[in-house]
Structure 1
């Protein structure tokens, strides 16, 4: 197995937990992996993962400028080697990635197929490169104990997918995307991946003038049914996940939010086969709170995993910031814990450095801060649940319904009709229900106190 000639992060030691009083910027203040919270360790609750694409495949370039980051395996970066063989570069990148993840102490990573292997001159050659790099990844995983949270296919970056993959008007492009997904699913299965994610980056449209929406949705439904069939054919036991996003790169995405995805899954008979991978920044773009999307997924029975990041309410695009708001993440973790926590999923840091953060250790600073944010949010959410006051107040607010099953349950022996309720109300002149305070401010103050005292 090829590795880098010297450590890429040679000046960084393994990141340790030092506690809230520590001033060491390269230590955890809140994430204590072995600490028991509500019967499980922090590591078991949070299931942290590092993404391959932003952390190692991206060079800091954007639509206005070239790459700024120190990525010698990437010829486009400011330190890139233009003479390096593409497969050697991929192996150098992978060695650096596993060095980082191991020193950080994250138990998982995730990748797109194009993140870990260079393209070839044909699909066959591309698959050969990918298979070679999967062998390389298996060796690193065996050596370090790091596991694969999920694999996924990039069927949106190449120009061939400019009109979509599964929803493309050309069936040959549908076939190409299907072959690419099948190959990546096989690799994810081989590496013991806990999930396989489907993000339809261009499964949407720009204008209805050239789009047959009904036809495209049916194509997407058929594609996903084929994915499910393949999962069972190869014996993959992980979960299949769709990642909702409302816009960008297309103006209208078919997987707008969790509720939209759930309706789609029901329509195409997939609601028992596919769950969701919720990205915090995507929730923001859809006009929802992160915890709303989690609660919707839990209620619908399709909660799977989380891309833990953050956006900016003032900017209408996907920023992939490292999460910093303990309040925002506490509310999200509260809904995750209420739903029973993660099974196959986890907290994947779909995050990237800012273009000016060009030192190698900046990648550690970003992840350490994010992991501490999520750990402190876990502590606060667990404190809220164990205290029980917020849940007691919420239950009490709906207590009147406990005695009104004749309204709620249409099969109840005493079930009432709309006309019967009308007759009851109009026949009782003393019937005058009064509003009751929702106590929102008091509940928000309770959350703030739990965050403040979480230790």
Structure 2
């Protein structure tokens, strides 16, 4: 591997909670066995190519502040240099997975054919890097939101030429993901929505999205891609109203088009907050409908109403999310993707390393807390006791019709007594962990 800006960093190791080494993990011990398997297999950590290697610190009010060597020069040479740096960063952090958009790893060409050729060429380069290092691909996806052609969406665009361009783009990105052994493929509808209904045929756009997703699922089966297709819900920003608002909305969409068995969800904490939910709520909803897939791990700023994508540092909040993950059976093909970016004042390479160390340790500490709650069993026991009446075969609502249930209730003439939900006691119990 050629020298990169990360070459001087050692591979980060676990040193325990007492360590004062800023380049060490205090809680992430990858080989520690928890609930029957190593922590690294539970968390399935992934570095996000987009935020870690592409973001330059610009925002709507300011120019770029982060300058990296691969942000200059001939585009394909720069893409290879970026890949070298990426896999060196993966080596430093010691994580097993990474994720990418097609435009993160390969530049836009002069036209569609050249663009797709660039993606395929860089896919081959990434394959060689994976073989050299053992790092695996958690998921790939296509960027169908940055270029001006996508300003009115991709699958939902009123122009069929954009739909066709998007189809070709996703086909190639899925081909590359399949060739690289990706565990999943993500469709993020960054601009699938509308700014005003004055110029929008909402039903036509949703039907187009359903057709597009159905075509992708059909192609996945045709090429033998074994991983799930993932949709990432997001309520707003950049689009005023996005069709994939939250987990429940996406489930309704999937059910309408008969895709609920082929498509799962990639959920993000920051998006859950923007939708007016908690992270654990979205995970619980996805588990309830059988569509939980993977997680993007970041946080938002409670004082800012937009997608700030900061690295996670709230261990109690994440512990509740991981508790829901474990209740649903844990991560299978999914993982924890650090879809998080350093702040625009954090311009040095070591800022990116420290951000990941803190995020990984926060996830590990939170997961260990959630695992302890699962092993303890008292939370689950309280829930089971609260609903125990429904487990009796002769419960009060056991009739086959509304008339039967009503008649039985009237015959019993029993007035139900309110029972405490014990919320405060359970909150205290969680805090003890």
Per the alignment, in what secondary structure is the counterpart of residue 340 of structure 1? coil
Aligned to 1:286: 275
**Deviations 1:136-194 (CA, angstroms, capped at 9, x unpaired):** 11111111100000000001111111111111111111100000000100000000000
- Asked whether the equivalents of residues 336 and 342 of structure 1 are also in contact (C-alpha less than 8 Å), the reply is yes
174, 184, 187: which one aligns with 2:176: 187
Task: Tell me if 1:369 matches 2:358.
Answer: yes
**Deviations 1:372-397 (CA, angstroms, capped at 9, x unpaired):** 11111111111111111111111111
How far residue 275 of structure 1 moved from its aligned partner, in angstroms, is 0.3
User: How far apart, CA to CA, are the structure 2 residues paired with 1:21 and 1:255?
Assistant: 44
User: How far apart, CA to CA, are the structure 2 residues paired with 1:8 and 1:297?
Assistant: 40
Aligned to 1:436: 419
Per the alignment, in what secondary structure is the counterpart of residue 111 of structure 1? strand
Per the alignment, in what secondary structure is the counterpart of residue 249 of structure 1? coil
Runs of at least 5 residues in structure 1 that lack an aligned partner in the other structure: 76-83, 410-414, 451-455
Aligned to 1:36: 33
Per the alignment, in what secondary structure is the counterpart of residue 285 of structure 2? helix
How far residue 435 of structure 1 moved from its aligned partner, in angstroms, is 1.1
User: How far apart, CA to CA, are the structure 2 residues paired with 1:94 and 1:30?
Assistant: 29
Per the alignment, in what secondary structure is the counterpart of residue 276 of structure 1? strand
Aligned to 1:220: 209
- Asked whether the equivalents of residues 246 and 252 of structure 1 are also in contact (C-alpha less than 8 Å), the reply is yes
Aligned to 1:273: 262
How far residue 65 of structure 1 moved from its aligned partner, in angstroms, is 1.1
How far residue 313 of structure 1 moved from its aligned partner, in angstroms, is 2.5
Aligned length: 433
User: How far apart, CA to CA, are the structure 2 residues paired with 1:10 and 1:142?
Assistant: 19
Task: Tell me if 1:359 matches 2:348.
Answer: yes
User: How far apart, CA to CA, are the structure 2 residues paired with 1:108 and 1:185?
Assistant: 17
Cα RMSD for the two superposed structures:
1.3
User: How far apart, CA to CA, are the structure 2 residues paired with 1:241 and 1:408?
Assistant: 38
How far residue 11 of structure 1 moved from its aligned partner, in angstroms, is 2.8
109, 113, 119: which one aligns with 1:120: 109
1, 4, 25: which one aligns with 1:7: 4
221, 228, 234: which one aligns with 1:232: 221
How far residue 424 of structure 1 moved from its aligned partner, in angstroms, is 4.1
- Asked whether the equivalents of residues 276 and 305 of structure 1 are also in contact (C-alpha less than 8 Å), the reply is yes
User: How far apart, CA to CA, are the structure 1 residues paired with 2:308 and 2:158?
Assistant: 30
Per the alignment, in what secondary structure is the counterpart of residue 150 of structure 1? strand
- Asked whether the equivalents of residues 407 and 416 of structure 1 are also in contact (C-alpha less than 8 Å), the reply is no
How far residue 7 of structure 1 moved from its aligned partner, in angstroms, is 2.8
4, 21, 24: which one aligns with 1:24: 21
Aligned to 1:417: 401
Aligned to 1:99: 88
Aligned to 1:175: 164
How far residue 405 of structure 1 moved from its aligned partner, in angstroms, is 5.5
Aligned to 1:79: none
Task: Tell me if 1:51 matches 2:34.
Answer: no
Instruction: Evaluate the alpha carbon distance shift between residue 55 and residue 441 of structure 1 in structure 2; reply closer, same or farther with a 3 A threshold.
Output: same
- Asked whether the equivalents of residues 137 and 182 of structure 2 are also in contact (C-alpha less than 8 Å), the reply is yes
TM-score with structure 2 length normalisation?
Answer: 0.97
How far residue 263 of structure 1 moved from its aligned partner, in angstroms, is 0.6
User: How far apart, CA to CA, are the structure 2 residues paired with 1:236 and 1:427?
Assistant: 58
Task: Tell me if 1:403 matches 2:392.
Answer: yes
User: How far apart, CA to CA, are the structure 2 residues paired with 1:33 and 1:227?
Assistant: 35
User: How far apart, CA to CA, are the structure 1 residues paired with 2:370 and 2:224?
Assistant: 36
How far residue 14 of structure 1 moved from its aligned partner, in angstroms, is 0.6
304, 308, 313: which one aligns with 2:297: 308
Instruction: Evaluate the alpha carbon distance shift between residue 408 and residue 138 of structure 1 in structure 2; reply closer, same or farther with a 3 A threshold.
Output: farther
User: How far apart, CA to CA, are the structure 2 residues paired with 1:139 and 1:405?
Assistant: 63
Task: Tell me if 1:129 matches 2:118.
Answer: yes
How far residue 10 of structure 1 moved from its aligned partner, in angstroms, is 3.0
Runs of at least 5 residues in structure 2 that lack an aligned partner in the other structure: none
Aligned to 1:81: none
Aligned to 1:448: 431
How far residue 422 of structure 1 moved from its aligned partner, in angstroms, is 3.5
